[in-house]
């Protein structure tokens, strides 16, 4: 609804960079994070605590968490695949930790070589680790429902399975669950249906965010569907870095600049200064000259006289 606050969670430094082969130098990542925070983005997923031999692009995550923590008002988010990653995330001082759990068990086995039961055990162990931290130093803990809208290996992912895993993640000690369209299969009707269904199981407050990809060009339509259902956190990636090699022209995550423009034009508050946000692309381009950046708003520019809440 116009006037309410929507959190744009920038995931480019994690989801975007893990999907491309060039390794962005740590100093460039810091410049990106600093510039985007200065543009008003309040939550940034700065990396993932996975072994460097698996994802060398994200080997500097601990250093980035330490750096990002020095930026006032910024929520520093990270991904962890297991307890070991969570230990590193807690030690580094991350404010928010997400463990992705593939609703498609085939995908889970292929990706992290773990069954659902094993992942839920890992989740419970992480929840215990967080609870053991002194009050005020406990990161927020999110369970990410990966492949919730379909899987490249299994195809259709049954809604009942999504609900079962959502409930199990909450029982294992997550503070909330997020719906993740890992494969870019989602459509707006499905987004609405699944948000309602998951909320009926875990409660509205415990399902507040969605993670969308633009693989088939439905990213912003899906974002709008999520907004209509009352979702208040939307993941996006600057320049939509990490496009799908099988869908030329399709960005990876939904493009932060286009999302921020849509939200501002509709009268939502995001805290983002669009001109400053568009300028952050230069920082990323300078460090990744051969990587394609996506987005329509950056090319077209803001409408003449644009100051948000367009036509209201
Ligand atoms: Zn993703």
- Please give, one letter per residue, the 3-state secondary structure of 124-139: HHHHHHHHCCCCCCCC
151 is catalytic: no
pLDDT tens sequence across 111-161: 889 999 999 999 999 999 999 999 999 999 999 999 999 999 999 999 999
Compute, in angstroms, the gap from residue 13 CA to the centroid of ligand 1.
Answer: 11
Mean pLDDT check: name the lowest of 94-103, 181-190, 248-257, 283-292.
248-257
Q: Is the pLDDT of residue 211 over 80?
A: yes
Cα-based distances in Å from 209 to 5, 68, 75, 110, 144: 13, 21, 15, 25, 9
Compute, in angstroms, the gap from residue 181 CA to the centroid of ligand 1.
Answer: 7
Q: What is the pLDDT of residue 312?
A: 59
Rounded Cα–Cα distance for residues 176 and 181 (Å): 17
DSSP conformation class of 304: T
Rg of the Cα atoms in the chain: 18
DSSP string, 197-256: HHHHHH-GGG--EEE-B-TTS-HHHHHHHHHHTT--EEEEBGGG-S--TTSTT--SBPBH
Q: Which domains does the chain have, with CATH numbers?
A: 7-300 (3.20.20.70)
| pTM, entire model | 0.96
Percent above pLDDT 70 for the chain: 98
Q: What is the pLDDT of residue 87?
A: 98
Q: Is 217 left (phi over 0), alpha (psi -120 to 50) or beta?
A: left
Predicted confidence band of residue 311 (pLDDT cuts 50, 70, 90): low
pLDDT tens sequence across 218-243: 999 999 999 999 999 999 999 999 87
Rounded Cα–Cα distance for residues 137 and 11 (Å): 23
> Which tokens go with 105?
């068990």
Active-site residue, from 151, 174, 207, 244: 244
Predicted confidence band of residue 308 (pLDDT cuts 50, 70, 90): confident
pLDDT tens sequence across 136-146: 999 999 999 99
Compute, in angstroms, the gap from residue 153 CA to the centroid of ligand 1.
Answer: 16
Predicted confidence band of residue 98 (pLDDT cuts 50, 70, 90): very high
Compute, in angstroms, the gap from residue 154 CA to the centroid of ligand 1.
Answer: 18
Q: Are 184 and 244 in contact (CB under 8 A)?
A: yes
Query: Phi then psi for 183, rounded to 5 degrees?
Result: -100, -5
């Amino acid at each position: 609804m116009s006037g309410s606050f929507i959190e744009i969670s920038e995931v480019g430094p994690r989801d975007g960079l893990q999907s491309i082969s060039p390794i962005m130098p740590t100093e460039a990542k810091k410049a990106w994070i600093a510039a985007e925070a200065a543009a008003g983005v309040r939550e940034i997923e700065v990396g993932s605590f996975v072994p460097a031999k698996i994802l060398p692009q994200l080997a500097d995550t601990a250093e980035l968490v330490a750096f990002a923590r020095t930026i006032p008002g910024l929520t520093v988010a990270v991904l962890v695949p297991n307890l070991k990653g969570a230990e590193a995330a807690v030690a580094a001082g991350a404010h928010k930790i997400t463990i992705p759990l593939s609703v498609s068990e085939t995908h889970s086995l292929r990706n992290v070589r773990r069954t659902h039961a094993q992942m839920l055990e890992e989740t419970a162990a992480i929840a215990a680790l967080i609870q053991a931290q002194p009050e005020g130093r406990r990161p927020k803990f999110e369970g990410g429902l990966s492949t919730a809208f379909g899987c490249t290996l299994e195809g259709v992912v049954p809604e009942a399975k999504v609900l079962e895993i959502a409930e199990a993640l909450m029982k294992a000690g997550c503070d909330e669950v997020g719906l993740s369209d890992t494969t870019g299969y989602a459509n707006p009707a499905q987004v609405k249906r699944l948000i309602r269904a998951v909320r009926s199981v875990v409660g509205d407050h415990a399902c507040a965010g969605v993670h969308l990809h633009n693989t088939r060009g439905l990213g912003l339509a899906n974002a709008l569907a999520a907004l209509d259902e009352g979702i208040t956190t939307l993941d996006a990636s600057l320049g939509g870095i990490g496009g799908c090699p099988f869908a030329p022209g399709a960005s990876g995550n939904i493009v932060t600049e286009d999302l921020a423009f849509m939200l501002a034009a509709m009268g939502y508050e995001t805290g983002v200064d669009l001109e400053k946000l568009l300028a952050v692309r230069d920082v990323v381009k300078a460090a990744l000259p051969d990587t394609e950046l996506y987005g329509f708003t950056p090319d077209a520019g803001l409408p003449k006289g644009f100051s948000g809440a367009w036509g209201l």
